Amino acid sequence: MSWLNSLKLELNYYVISILCVSLGVFLCTSIYRFAERQTRLSVLNRIPGPKPFPILGNTLELKLKGGDRHFSKHSVRRTKWKQRRKLLTPAFHFKILEDFIDVFNQKSFKFVSNLEVNLNGKPFDIFPYVTLCALDIILEWVNSQLIVKYVLGDRKPRLAFLDLLLESAEENEDLSDEDIREEVDTFMFAGHDTVAASLNWTLYLLGCHPSIQNKVYEELEAIFGKSDRAAASSDIREMKYLECCIKESLRLFPSVPIYGRELKENLVVGEYVIPKETNVFVIAYQLHRDPDQFPDPNSFKPERFLSENSVKRNPYAYVPFGAGSRNCIENV
């Protein structure tokens, strides 16, 4: 039985060796990460601002002045995002979206019809109506493509994002049904909610400023006259002042008022250096109220976005859809 005892001793020695090596690697990695974190903190602590709390820390207010080269969206799925972004971007080309103008018109007429029950002079909450309209448009967009392709067996000439996903799934086994559902969920729920919030604030601000509302009305009267016809793509391009109102609404009340990024390289802000791999937050709500870029920043002034008033403005002073390669895909 001596050989058995020798085997046990060898196994014990082997197990102990593995445990020691693993423990050593763990300790070295932990010490390295701790030292790296302390180095980053020592640099960040030189920046004036609120004293950080344990674990919570504090949030640094940054102004984007150098483009997006410093920033990347913090995610463990960067490769997946790049593949999906490249795949879906063509579905949001302006020419493709123009093909859905009939859907926009149909749902807009339904929205106006739904509002008629409240034409009694009393205040009412318009947000649920706006939300349902935005959701209706996205559902119509998604469901029409699905029904056309798999029920009717006849494709429409327009190509929506679900078409691209389904066709790619046929050619690429890596794109599963779960992946397709993820993308559909993102566009249906995240998309309609941000649009509804933006439209609701725009209507609210127009209601608070009757003189501006009258200018929008006069612009629409100049385009449509007394006609009740549906809007064409060419009509939308003529709604310059209405576009300014929507942009000014997004400036004051961005649908996504704050979003996070991870620095992919050191960022110099004045005399301070923020180390790479630091998580930072861009506070669009505050950024849009910079008086250097927007005088009288808390006032609703759509004229700010007329072409002659925007030409000298820093392009990163107004980022309601984010900025750089990871901006909102609907802002292509």
Task: Could you list the residues known to form a binding site for heme, using ranges.
Answer: 328
Please report, for residues 68, 71, 262, 264, 287, the alpha-carbon distance to residue 267 in angstroms, rounded to integers and kept in the order given. 11, 9, 11, 9, 18
Residues 69 and 19: their CA atoms lie apart, in Å, by: 43
Q: Give residues with Cβ within 8 angstroms of 322, minimum separation 6.
A: 256, 259, 328, 331
Residue positions in the annotated binding site?
Answer: 328
Helix (H) or strand (E) holding 260: strand 258-263
Q: Do 325 and 67 form a contact (C-beta atoms < 8 A)? A: no
Question: Angle at CA 154, nearest 5°, toward 149 and 156?
Answer: 85
Alpha-carbon distance values, 85 to 71, 236, 323, 327 (Å): 17, 27, 15, 11
Rounded distance between C-alpha atoms, residue 121 and residue 129, angstroms: 17
Neighbours of 249 (CB within 10 A): 24
